[in-house]
Structures are given as structure tokens and as C-alpha cells.
Structure 1
Amino acid sequence: MDKDFLVIEHVVKTFQARRRTITDLILRRRVPLIYAVNDVSLRLDKGRVLTLLGESGSGKTTLGRLIVGLEKPDSGKILIDGEEVSYVGSREYIKSKLRGKLQIVFQDPASSLDPYMTVKDIVTEPLTKLGISRRDVIGAVKNALELVGLDPSFLNRRPTELSGGQRQRVAIARAIITNPELIVLDEPTSALDASIQAQILNLLIKLQRDLGLTYVFITHDARVAKFVSDHIAVMYLGRVVEYGPAHEILNKPLHPYTQALLSAIPEVGRRGLPKIIGGEVPSAINIPKGCPFWPRCPYTMDKCRVELPKEIHINNRTIMCHLYS
């Protein structure tokens, strides 16, 4: 197993909160920035599953897009097996160095698959971009479909003729056909019916184990994180507030935000009601001073309101919380 196959070092990604206007230019007024990812550092070994867990607006999807090179960070760097995907030069450089090695499966297969293309063309597309002729890929396409539980009768169908679960299986087949080294899975089951979600999760875990894949799994659902993870990074307003081995975080979460997220998982023998996270997630344009979680935290101290917690290492875990400083 390759150690530190995925390395993320002090990555920052911002977006303008709105378009710059003529008035802004005349008055030399700055447009507010959204810190979607704010000084994130993570590491993952090859063949493992890292789950990015957090509510909407935590920065999970942006970090996933940065990992596969769909976005470039403002600062920091990301390396996959020693190759930097955060290279500040052209996107074509990234594609030429890493084409086929990185893939992403999006949340909604209905919007990520071209409705006018057949299943055969959709799954074939990544191979043709690698310069492989269409005549040589039909066997690979059939094999990829078989791996995701679809038979050759699906080859000439279009996405509109498929169920949501079948469309997501096609998206997964498209992702695995290039034998990628890492796949980002962005909420791959959240748009599906509950009865189908477990089937897709079981399929993804089977593929990961059988093919030796490395996953970055994005979810807001702590139950999904419990099912799929080797490591978990809990994100809140662009920062990783807790990171470490999944079994340690699931058995004894340290950060108050992690505790609240995981308390929602039903467990036999648990006494009392789940912890409720009070209030709404603050605006990403106006992140609270100090610890970003303090307005919703039941353990807030004066220090939390004015000082950002430093990363603290406790055994195999990293945590940002004044309770442990």
C-alpha cells in the first residue's frame, strides 16, 4: 500500500460573493470573498476511503473538485502519487499528466449524463479522450457495465430510458473504465430513492475492494460515513475541524460538531435523545471571528469567540477545538 498517496497541504480556495460592478471599479471597492476551503491539510494512503463529512456549505464539494483538478486552489498544493494536480499553470498540463488517473461521480446522474448519448457512448467517452479507438473499447465497455451490474442490453439505451439507480451505475461504469487511481464520489446516493441507496453503496464498496480503488467520498449523512470510511475529515465552513481513523472518530468523536453529527445515527442501546445542532450555519461571507462553530456550540468559552483554535494532534487524530488546548 502506498503511503500518502493523496497529499493536501494548506489548500485555500475562495470565490467572489458576487460579480464586480462598475461602481466597485470606480470606488475601488473590494468584492467580498467566500472562503470555500480554508487552510486544509489531509493525507490518505492508496486503496483507502476518505470521507469528507459535513453540512451543506462546508466546502466538501469544492475540495473534491480541487482534488480532481476541476478547480485550482488560491494557495497550497495537492499531490496524487507525487503528481501535483494544483499546478498553477494551464489546465491542459494537468490533463496531460493525469488524464484517466482521476475520475469523479456526481450527485445527480440525471444532470451529469448527456440525455442524447447512448450508454455505450457515455461509458466509451473517457477512453476516446485517451486516444483509444472505438473499435478497441467495446469489450472494455461491456466489462465495465458488467462490473456495475448492467448487461449488454443497456448499450444502446439513453439515460431517459433508465431509472435513477441505473443512471448512477452508468456514471460509475464511466468512472472506472479508465482504471483510475482515485475517484471522488460527490454525494453519489443522495439523489436516489432510499431503497436504491444501499444497493449503490454496496456496489461502490465492492468495486473499491475488488479493484483496489482509492475513494474520496463526500456526504452530509453520518450513516453513510459510518458504512464506507477508513478515514473521516469533518468539515465546517471551509475548515477541517476533526480528522482521523474512522473507527476512532465514530466510537469517540472529540469535536462538539462531530459529536452532534454522529449522535443522529440510530444505535441500539443508546439512551437519551440525539444532540441537536442549534441555529443555522453562519454565512460564508461573514464567518464568525474566532472558532467558526462557536455560535452553535454548547461548550462555547470566551476564548472561542476571539481566537481561532490551532490544530491539535491527539494520538492519530487532528482536531481544532479549544476544549483540548
Structure 2
Amino acid sequence: MFWNSVVGLALIAPVHALIRFGCSQLVVDRLDPLVMPEEVPSAHVHQILGGNSFNSTMTHDLPGVATCTSCQPADDFSNYWTANLYFRRQDGTFKRVPQKGNVGFEGQNGGMTVYYMQNGLADFQQQSKVTAFAPGFRMLIGDPTATTEERANDFPQLTYTCLQDMNTRFPETKHFPTEPCPAGIMANLRFPTCWDGVNLDSPDHMSHMSYPESGTFESQGPCPASHPVKVPQLMYEVIFETAEFNDRSQWPTDGTQPFVWSFGDGTGYGTHGDYMFGWKDDSLQRIMDEPCYVMCQSMRTQDMSAMNACTVDPVVPEDVDGCE
């Protein structure tokens, strides 16, 4: 399998840190404290992961208030969230598409896989020096109003993979898959890696971050002078279990694909992800400074039962799963 081969190569070479871990579902709720703080309900439904201090305002110290986390690292009280995916039936009704654990995280309650890395995933050396995010840091990537590939191309590292099996990673597309995907649809969200070094946020939640000045993160392109601080690349792999929706007889009779984001986008171009940093003390920086690949001694972990047990009740009373 792909991931086993990655780990095998890592064991024979000295490397710096790349971590990959699972986060279970904390709650599915209509809250968005980054874009719509204090607005209850928010514009659309999200699946939220991470520390149980999540609320509609997020003005508090996350690791100082949270008492549990749905993520594998025991010191990570950050919050990660994405929109929910729905299947539009021929009668116009909607059913939420569940999320499932990745390879190595079978049994996880929904959620997704999170990466923090210094260089691209396939670079086993991971030798670049990165600065961990600072307390209070937050960011957004993607545009939920995007309806064209031209606009989606402003965010080059937001893609989809139609999983033929759980180890499929290519090809990637900017739009939703147009054919049934046997093992599910994976949304890939890779955040920018250059920070201005000053602002923990910005009005659009993106301007304090930048892509490399030339090249890409994977090719170790340099950061621009306006955003000189290289931070870890944060990456989400969100796998939607489409098995019950892959029967083409359920799909629209005009041949179009039936999946739609919770904010109404049926193209896939509007995919986006939100992040609020909440690692305890300097735990993330210590991990990033350690020569390790996935299995890092300085990363304290908890078992899956503890991850799955960390949940909160939804604030907005509504049926987020759609029709039965």
C-alpha cells in the first residue's frame, strides 16, 4: 500500500518532521466562528473537528479551555472544519453523505486526516525549517462563492480524488467527480505556507498568508518578501463515503452528477476549509523540530476510543442529515 511504502522509506533515512493523524467528528452544526462569528445559525452546515471548546465566537484560549480533543494528538485542541456534502435525489430531496476514516484510521467516527509537513508529502527528508503557528492564529482557504474553474484556480491546491480504492491518490480534479467513485470522494485541501509574520488573522482570513513566490510548496519555492515566514503546510484529506449513492439509477436523468455542498455548490469549485490553531504550549514546534516521519516521539497521542468520545452537542436544532 502507498502509505506503508512511505513509512518504510522513512525508516531508512534521517528525516525531519511530517505528521499525519486522524480527527473524529466533534459535531455537525450550523456554526462558523471564523467567517460569521456570533451568528447563530451560520449560512451553512459544517463538520467540526478538534477541541471541545468550539463555539460561535472563539474568543478564548483554545487549549486553556478545552477538556478533550477528537484528534489523535493529545495536545492538539485546534479546530478544523469543512462544509458537508449532500446527495441530491431525483425527487429534489437531500441526504448527507457521511465522512469516514482514512487508511490507518478505520473505526474513526467520521472526521478527516490532517497533515502538518515541512516539505511535500513524498519528500521523505522533510529538511526545511518551519515556524509553527502562533496562539490565536486562524485562516481560511477557498471561496464558497466560486462557480468557475477560473476562480477555483486561484486556489491551486484544492482538489478532489475519485477513490477507486482507499489507496487511490491520482488523478486530482478541480471539480466534483462525474462518475461514481467505488471507495468514495476525497476532498484534498492544502493551505498556503507563507505567513506575513505579524497578523494572526486578516479581514478575508487569507491575506496574511501566501503561496510561494515561485514554484510550489512541494518544489520548495521561496516565500515572497511580504510573507517571509515559512510555516508547516496544513493539509486535510476528507473522505466522503458514497457507497449508498453510487447506483447510477439514483442519479439525475440528465446525466449530471448529484453531489452538492451544504452551501449549494454542485460544481465542486467552491470547496473550502477553516482552521483555528490550538496546540498546547510549544508542542507543535517541538514536533516540527524533531527528526521523525509520522511516528514522532514528542507527539503525545490518545487512542481512537478517546477521539470518538470527544463530542459536543449541536447548538442549532435542525436535521443536518436530510431526508431518509
* TM-score interval, normalised by the smaller of the two chains: under 0.3
Output the TM-score relative to the length of structure 2: 0.23
In terms of Rg, which structure is larger?
Answer: 1
If asked which structure has higher relative contact order (CA below 8 Å, sep 6+), I would say: 2
Higher helix share: 1
Output the TM-score relative to the length of structure 1: 0.23
